[in-house]
Structure 1
Amino acid sequence: MPASPSTARAINDRLALRLLQQEGPLTATQLKTLTGLSRPTVADLVERLQGAGLIRVVGEAGAERRGPNARLYGIAADRAHLAALDVRTGSVAVVVADLLGTTLAEATMPISGDTGTEAAAEQAAALLERTAREAGAGPLHSVGIGAPGLIDPVTGDLRDTTGLPAWHRRLVRVLQQRLPATVLVENETNLAAVAEHRDGAATDRDTFVLFWLGHGVGAGVMLDGKLRRGASGGAGEIGFLPVPGIPGTPSALNCDGGFHALVGSAPVCELAATHGIAVPPGTAEGDKEPGAAVAVRAALAGEGDGEAFLDALAGRLALGAAAIAAVLDPGCVLLAGEVGHAGGDALAARVEERLTLMSPLRTEVRAGRLGGAAVLRGALLTAREAAQDELFTPSG
């Protein structure tokens, strides 16, 4: 059955808006060519989108030819303002952006472990409000939050997880109460996978698994272009993966006997020390740069027995990658986070070499491009998608 006139208009409008977002300012003639729509239909949708405040004239094209210049239409970037937060154990980072995702202001603030739940949540919320004011933003339309821990797949709420600060969950509630915005929360590793897929090392891959290597370890599973969260929101909790070479096994309360005990920052720093690579005190834990990233960079720079250290680390990472490949066969594993970014292509090549010996399944190993910024970028992309999904469906 053919679409009704109103449905057809909505489809055409949304197509035009997506093209303007992806390709930048376009003339009506360019929109006609890209959409395949008739000239009268394009003229009608341009008028409609201008009336809705979603696009505006941003310049002219055709100065090199005779005759009147064609108007260039672009997304009205200030039609809505967005925010993203990267919530860590002892800090929070904030970015405020326009509808196209252009950063207008950003800030970071440490939050002491001695701070109470209410006070910590208030500090983080105040930082967001202050950053939005500095950006000159109006009321925020959508806010994306990246946090450690599990997200309930039914309610979308951040679950109470042993070992993580209570102020994370309280912050979500505070922002929902204070702001007229849509507040979305997602696991930090999943957001890193979204960011690397859209803007990083996996733009050509719809199926891959991202290893987040920071103070701890986690995985984001992207299959056929969609995040897979699992029945309880725990897909990718590979820190709990039982692996050989670790005394004991992980428990329901902690992952000390699992993959985390091989590739978390603290055990990697210990491994580095055995190879003559010193890591400054205080970098193994907390919200500073992971000591493992410092160690990897030092090894690549030639400190200590760097080659042997990198080989040993690659062997550990290959254990986890082989387990993932055996179950999911993703074809690609991304080494992301601060440690994966520090190791770059050199570490990725070592892991792929060892993985080839462990698994008959062809699995490419790549280095993430976005480093520690991936979580914040993924949160902003999530907020932007939410805003555009609503605003890019004009009525009429």
Structure 2
Amino acid sequence: MPASPSTARAINDRLALQLLQEQGPLTAGQLKQQTGLSRPTVADLVERLRGAGLITVVGEAGAQRRGPNARLYGIVADRAHLAALDVRTDSVRVAVADLLGTVLAEAALTVDAALGTEPAVDQAVALLDRTAREAGAGPLHSVAVGAPGLIDPGTGELRDTGLPAWHRRLVAALQQELPATVLVENETNLAAVAEQRAGAARDRDTFVYLWLGHGVGAAVVLDGKLRRGASGGAGEIGFLPVPGTAGLPSATDCGGGFHSLVGSAAVTELAARHGLSVDPDPDAAGPEQAAASVLARRSTELLDAYAERLALGAAAAIAVLDPGCVVLGGALGHAGGDALAARVQHRLASLSPLATEVRAGELGSTGVLLGALFAARAAVQEELFGGA
């Protein structure tokens, strides 16, 4: 059954907006060429999108061309503003961007949870408010929050998994105080989305992403889609029982699992075993940064030992999912770089019959914030572009 005229218009408008989003300003002629639509249809959609305030004339194409056919049309960047938050156990990073995804302002804050839940939440909300004002943004359309822990797939809420109480209260506070759509997603999932959109997995629609930092997690992307699992817990690889630990993990403690072999504390301990000194004041820089710093020195002995451990968890994921590609992300994966990835790939070849490429993540710990920006931008586009 052919699409109705209104449905066809919506499909054409969305296609044109997507092209303008991805390729930048285009003329009506270029839109006709890219979409395959007729000249009158393109003229109609251009006028429709201009009337909706979604696109505008931003210049002319070519020094020799003048007139209507040379007009360059681009998306109105300030039609909507969005924000992203990367919420850690003791800090928050915020970025505010326009509809094109251009970051207009960014800020970070160490949150003193010892002051209590509400003061911690107030600090985070105030940081977002200040950053939005510095960006010159109007009311935020969408806000995406990346946080550690499980997200309930039914309600979209951050579940109580032993994280600081202010984490869960923050999401509720943002929903109460802002007219914006507020989304929350697991930090590892967001980092994986960022690596797929703008990092090491740009050419992959199926891969496993390992978040290696103070904590350990995984994200599963199959056939281009992020898979969260029945309870939102797909990728809780820190709880994976592996050989080489002092015990077994429990329902409330991943200390005996994969986490205890490859988290930042384990890297620091492994470095000491190989006679490598870490930051003399690791508390000042944070344990994650200290571990990343020592990995970045590219000690052959340390990288060999760490790759041996990483391969254990990666092999388990490969045996179940056969993703063809594993991306080592987070601060530690980024610090280990290609040297660490090559070692893990070599070790996996002896543990699994399934050929698997291992890549170093390109975004490091910045991936969470970037992934949150992508999520917020998708929410804006779904509303503004979907009904265009």
TM-score range normalised by the length of the shorter chain: over 0.9
Q: Which amino acid aligns with 1:350?
A: R
Equivalent residue of 1:290, what SS? helix
Contact residue 88 and residue 287 of structure 1 kept, 8 A: no
Contact residue 89 and residue 286 of structure 1 kept, 8 A: no
Contact residue 63 and residue 69 of structure 1 kept, 8 A: no
Counterpart Cα distance in 2 of 1:152 and 1:311: 38
**Equivalent residue number for residue 226 of structure 1:** 225
Aligned in 2, Cα 1:68/1:388: closer, same or farther, shift over 3 Å?
Answer: closer
Shift of 1:69: 6.3
Stretches (4+) displaced over 6 A = 66-69
Contact residue 139 and residue 180 of structure 1 kept, 8 A: yes
Alignment of 1:312-323 (within 5 A): 312-323=305-316
**Equivalent residue number for residue 7 of structure 1:** 7
Shift of 1:248: 1.4
Q: Which runs of 5+ in 2 are unaligned?
A: none
Shift of 1:288: 6.1
Aligned in 2, Cα 1:208/1:80: closer, same or farther, shift over 3 Å?
Answer: same
**Equivalent residue number for residue 96 of structure 1:** 96
Counterpart Cα distance in 2 of 1:34 and 1:285: 53
Shift of 1:247: 1.7
Contact residue 265 and residue 287 of structure 2 kept, 8 A: no
**Equivalent residue number for residue 351 of structure 1:** 344
Equivalent residue of 1:154, what SS? coil
1:264-306 CA distance string (max 9 Å, x none) = 11011000001111112553798564322111012x1xxxxx2
Aligned in 2, Cα 1:40/1:231: closer, same or farther, shift over 3 Å?
Answer: same
Equivalent residue of 1:219, what SS? strand
1:220-251 CA distance string (max 9 Å, x none) = 11111111111111100000000001121000
Q: Which amino acid aligns with 2:5?
A: P
**Equivalent residue number for residue 196 of structure 2:** 197
Shift of 1:392: 0.5
Counterpart Cα distance in 2 of 1:209 and 1:291: 26
Alignment of 1:1-396 (within 5 A): 1-64=1-64, 70-162=70-162, 164-283=163-282, 289-298=288-297, 300=298, 306-394=299-387
Contact residue 266 and residue 284 of structure 1 kept, 8 A: no
Contact residue 215 and residue 286 of structure 1 kept, 8 A: no
Aligned in 2, Cα 1:77/1:376: closer, same or farther, shift over 3 Å?
Answer: same
Counterpart Cα distance in 2 of 1:126 and 1:180: 16
Equivalent residue of 2:154, what SS? coil
1:39-83 CA distance string (max 9 Å, x none) = 000000000000000000001002245877600000001000000
Q: TM-score scaled to structure 1, two decimals?
A: 0.96
Q: TM-score scaled to structure 2, two decimals?
A: 0.98
Q: Which runs of 5+ in 1 are unaligned?
A: 301-305
Counterpart Cα distance in 2 of 1:153 and 1:282: 40
Equivalent residue of 1:357, what SS? helix
Counterpart Cα distance in 2 of 1:384 and 1:192: 15
